[in-house]
Chains A and B, each alone.
Chain A
Amino acid sequence: MRLARFIFKRLLLALVTLFTLFTITFVLTRAVPGDPLVKTKEIPEETRRNLEARYGLDKPLFEQYLLALKNTASGNLGESFRTIGREVNDIIAEQFPVSASIGLVAVVFGTFVGLGLGIAAALYRNSLIDRAAMFLCVAGISLPSFLFAYMFQYFLAVYPLTELGVDPQTWLRPAGWGELRDYILPSFALSLGTIALITRMMRSQMVEVSFSEYVKTAKAKGVSTLRLLFLHQIRNAIMPVVSILGPLVVAVMGGGLIIENIFGIPGLGKAFLNSITNNDYSVIMGLTIFFGGFFIIVNLITDVLYGLIDPRIRVNA
């Protein structure tokens, strides 16, 4: 019952958040100079008027706002200005699964590798493993993912194919979508940030936990090292790491904006980038609201799960 009330309250708050997000996005897109109909070649006056009427841009701004709000609330996100006849709902339905699947592979892969590296670095503190892991973390966090994307594209695809004479049909291709192998390079490039983040966090948590009283007690009691590691150290150290998985999933599943353009991936990141350069009002709004909603829901799930795992932080609803 308390959980249901908690979820209900959070969903109600979510609506307020989404409404605010909608309003801010509407104001910001309209404040940027140049509407979607401004093009290199000026659209002739009469045609422009006809187009404005078609898209409802001829109405007063407040009326446009109310209409857009009404449509968005009813789940109709409108039609793209740029790709004629393409509904924003279709863009999300077709392109989100692409970004999401790559992101999911990246997060799962990154989490496992990150946990492993983090634990190893903590256990062999100040060893070569630790230094290598920390170097990777600094690189993974500070270097932008598109840099890795270019490096992987060249060293893992172009170089073997052009210089080593590998058969292109049994190897990775530098860009493309539609074959299973196309997951590898982009998710690998996307996962580096996750690896870095998780490794660093896991390492510091493990170190912290190893100095705690209960670990000392356990050691004193003569608990086997294996048992100590899994039941006492990792179990406690992993909690904060779990809490960042939610936002991480959202961030990565949103599609690497640049990564998708480098690997030719038909995902939402590509759509988002295109919509912004083209002032494509309906797509910008649709994707913002979609991502906003997605973020809220994933966060809610994370919070609920967190409460289930760790009884200490249940909220008093």
Chain B
Amino acid sequence: MFLPYAPRRSSLAVAASFAFAGLFAFSANAFAQQKSQAERRAAQEVYWNPGDEPPSMDPTKQADSVSGAWLTHLFEGLMTTDKNGDMVPGAAEKMSVSADGKTYTFTIRKNAKWHDGKPVTAQDFEFAFKRLVDPAYASEYSFIAETAQIVNATEIIGKKLPTDQLGAKALNDSTFEVKLKNPVTFFPSLMAFNTFFPIRKDLVEKHGDKFATNLESLVGNGPFKLVQWQKEASMRMEKAPTYWNAKAIKITALEAPVMVKDAGASYNLFRTGGTDLVGLDFERLKLAQKDKLAIKSHSDGAVFYLQMNTVDGKLFSNVKLRQALSIGINRREYINKISAIPGDKPAFGVIPDYMPGSKKGSTYRKEAPLAFKDGDLAKAKSLVKEYLAETKQAKVPSFTLLTGDSSTAKRDSEYFQQTLSKVFDTEVKVDSVPFKTRLQKMRDSQFDVVAAGWGPDYLDAMTFADLFMQNNSNNHGQFKDSKYDELILSAQKSADPAERINLIKQAEKILIVDKAAIAAYHQRGRAYVLANGLTGVRRAQVGGDPDFRFASWGGAAAKK
């Protein structure tokens, strides 16, 4: 009895599937813009999934890693890095330093050009440096001009002096002079940093608030120029013929055909040739092992530590408890069993292993070794016992471990909750909150212990060391030690590299061992995979990462 309608039903389905197939066939043939890996290999083009739309492509305002990576390809500072990450002259062909180490003079290359063909001038740098400290622009990274100790930077940011009083001047079109308050040994490396890239005054004046938000206003002087930008969807850069060192650049284009944040989707994209580099989280790492991919790893630069609230009246204002926490946790166990990403390293001190030392080729850590026995429950417990005797208590009061709400944060906090409740023989409460809430609680001092981390802003131990000075706004544990501050201040004024390291070394010993304000535990590693045959991709701890400038596709095609 229902027979007559069966054909109707199926005709509907047939029509729908035709429409579906038609849509698909149409798109597959007429709209496929994405190049296959073989085509890219032949054309020396690289695909990359940055995960996100860059929040700011204006070098003055950029403060995030996605924009930072693009900008490193688009612009070039006075100094730059070579394929090994070593500091070499960039837009300036020559740099000279005065005898007192306080005046730097740069000579701009004659053949340094903007992507529209105009020459790069000393005025472009002067404009950029002044814009960085100009209160009207309110750059988040303006503090880096203070780190560089450029004359009057602090006063200008604090609106005590006008912007034109900055110690950075174009003497003529090709000579740029920077005056410093104190000699800063790592000043040249700062000059490679995104925040000190040159900026075109004419473009800023023409585009105003829209500067660097569209193709027309985003003209760089680096090895690649931006040719396509569809907001939140795709971006493409091509090799710039105007770049002075164009012959060193092998790849002809760097493109993000897809921007997808989800880790699983990103891995799928890699497997199907939609990106030539993909980062692996814990789950994707297992997949990549199963898929037999060549897994690489690097240190992403960040150091993680348990920061203790040292404010009077808080539990961890007591130094013995802080020391007990630091020796009580087992860093190697954490690295091997909990975090377990290739490239992970335990941290004892707060200064990571890659930070340079006083001599070329040396590192800070080689010159200032710091390690101690941890996971030492017996010693930790004896310190706790001393504390209990001194304060005439029977039991350590329960305390709170503040942490984020990501799956890794929760996993970590469970581990530390277990360990710490053993060390202190008390209840450890975990306060797991969203990202911004955690930051606000840290600012408001609403925690006993917090799992915090820091990524370097420049390639010098100071980027970690100055965090724990009394007046540093990132010193959320409110550690106060005048000897520590003195040592760091002297290091900031010292022109002698060996003496600087020695001063920071003494300070670090106070921070980690004597006063145990923090318990550093993790130098974060990142696992990733590159497309078969792609070489020369540099992973950086500081500045733009990943760095594709010197990448190239190798000769033999992949076997697959």
A-side residues, CB < 8 A to B, are 32-34, 38-47, 50-51, 53-54, 82-86, 94-95, 109, 112-113, 116, 119-120, 123-124, 150, 153-154, 157-158, 161-162, 167-184, 225-226, 229, 261-264, 266, 270-271, 277-279
Contacts and interface: CB of A to CB of B under 8 A. Distances in A.
A44 B473 contact: yes
Contacts of B27: 179-184
Interface in B157-207: 157-159
The 3 closest A-B pairs by CB, nearest first: A180-B27, A264-B260, A266-B232
A225 B2 contact: yes
Contacts of A179: 27, 31-34
Nearest to B274: A173
B473 A161 contact: no
14 contacts: A34-B437, A39-B140, A42-B443, A95-B232, A162-B271, A168-B36, A169-B32, A173-B258, A176-B257, A177-B234, A177-B258, A181-B24, A184-B23, A225-B4
B4 A226 contact: yes
Contacts of A226: 4-5
B474 A41 contact: yes
Describe A's contact surface by its main secondary structure: helix
Given A180-B26, A180-B27, A262-B262, 11 more contacts: A38-B443, A162-B271, A168-B36, A173-B272, A176-B34, A178-B257, A179-B34, A180-B30, A181-B31, A229-B5, A266-B230
Interface stretch (B51-59, B81-89, B308-316, B342-350): B51-59
B232 A271 contact: yes
Given A124-B2, A174-B274, A264-B265, A169 B443 contact: no
B100 interface: no
Interface of B: 1-2, 4-5, 9, 12-13, 16, 20, 23-24, 26-34, 36, 49, 53, 55-56, 58, 61, 63, 135-136, 138-140, 142-143, 157-159, 209-213, 230-234, 257-262, 264-266, 268-269, 271-274, 434-437, 439-441, 443-444, 453-454, 457, 473-474
A47 B268 contact: no
A82 to B, nearest CB: 5
Contact of A261 (B55, B257, B261, B443): B261
Nearest to A119: B9
| Centre residue among A83, A119, A161, A167 by max chain B CB count within 10 A | A83
B258 A112 contact: no
Contacts of A47: 138-140, 142-143, 157
Nearest to B27: A180
Contact of B274 (A46, A176, A262): A176
Contact of B272 (A34, A162, A183, A266): A162
Contacts of A174: 265, 268-269, 271-272, 274
A169 B56 CA distance: 32
B90 to A, nearest CB: 25
A51 B143 CA distance: 14
Nearest to A276: B434
Contact of A40 (B24, B212, B259, B439): B439
A46 B440 contact: no
Nearest to A45: B473
B34 A175 contact: no
B260 A38 contact: no
A43 B140 contact: yes
A168 B34 contact: yes
B33 A178 contact: yes
Contacts of A170: 28-29, 32
A263 B159 CA distance: 46
Contacts of B212: 85
Contacts of A53: 138
A178 B213 contact: no
B9 A116 contact: yes
B260 A262 contact: yes
A85 B9 contact: no
A45 B158 CA distance: 9
A262 B24 contact: no
B142 A85 contact: no
Contact of A112 (B12, B440, B457): B12
Contacts of B231: 86, 94-95, 266
